[in-house]
Amino acid sequence: AKVLRRGDFYGARIDTALPQRQPLPRPDLRQYRIGVGPVAVFGASNFPLAFSVAGGDTAAALAAGCPVVFKAHSGHLITSELVADAIERAVKRSGVPAGTFNMIYGDRVGAQLVKSAGIQAVGFTGSLRGGRALCDMAAARPQPIPVFAEMSSINPIIVLPQALATRGEATARDLIGSVVVGVGQLCTSPGLVLGVRSPELTKFIEQLREATLAQSPATMLNSAGLKTYGGG
């Protein structure tokens, strides 16, 4: 809030005029950042709060002076409605324009939203397939628009030989703990482990397998996540 009140985000630059400059005078030049316009935001299925209706993309767009059209995720519609109601109350109390925040529903409205001439940018958190589709739509517009997307995080982990030699078993437990937190649905989950081929690495892989088998079943957020997991 302090940064917003100070206006740092404007990045204002003023180059005063130099009328006596040779061979040509320099005019007064002024530059500052302004909002690009309405932003379409697509919420993530695995973060109903942090990266959804009132998440980082929405906050960033509003802070930049851009109204938001939020596409509610089908995985948590009621949660989305409750948070949107809270935002709407804040909009009314703050006295900002009524169209500052909007939320729409529907499985097939995303493409129409991105292609709409009024939308000037897109924020997306989700799968590589979904994000790439939005990027292609945005690029194909008569006036292409930027897509700010976090897609399909891999999060590679490098395991060094010294770590395997001194604390291999503990590292295996900690790694699996990171993998299965949130039933493995968080974008911070490690997805690729790199190590130097050795007997210690072979033992480490076996420890990973044992630690995985020791995990208890848990409920995933929605059927789509379960289906994707089942398909590998």
Catalytic positions are 150, 187
Residue with tokens 């398909």: 231
- What's the token pair of residue 89? 């109350």
Look at residues 180, 183, 114 and name the one whose alpha carbon lies nearest to residue 149.
114
* CA nearest to 191, candidates 149, 223, 152: 152
Angle at 127 between CA 54 and CA 151, to 5 degrees: 75
106's torsion region: left (phi>0), alpha (psi -120 to 50) or beta?
left
What's CA 125's distance to the chain center, in Å?
Answer: 4
The candidate with the shortest Cα–Cα distance to 42, out of 96, 98, 137, 122, is 122
Q: How far apart are the C-alpha atoms of 195 and 201, rounded to whole Å?
A: 7
How many CB atoms lie under 10 A from the CB of residue 55? 20
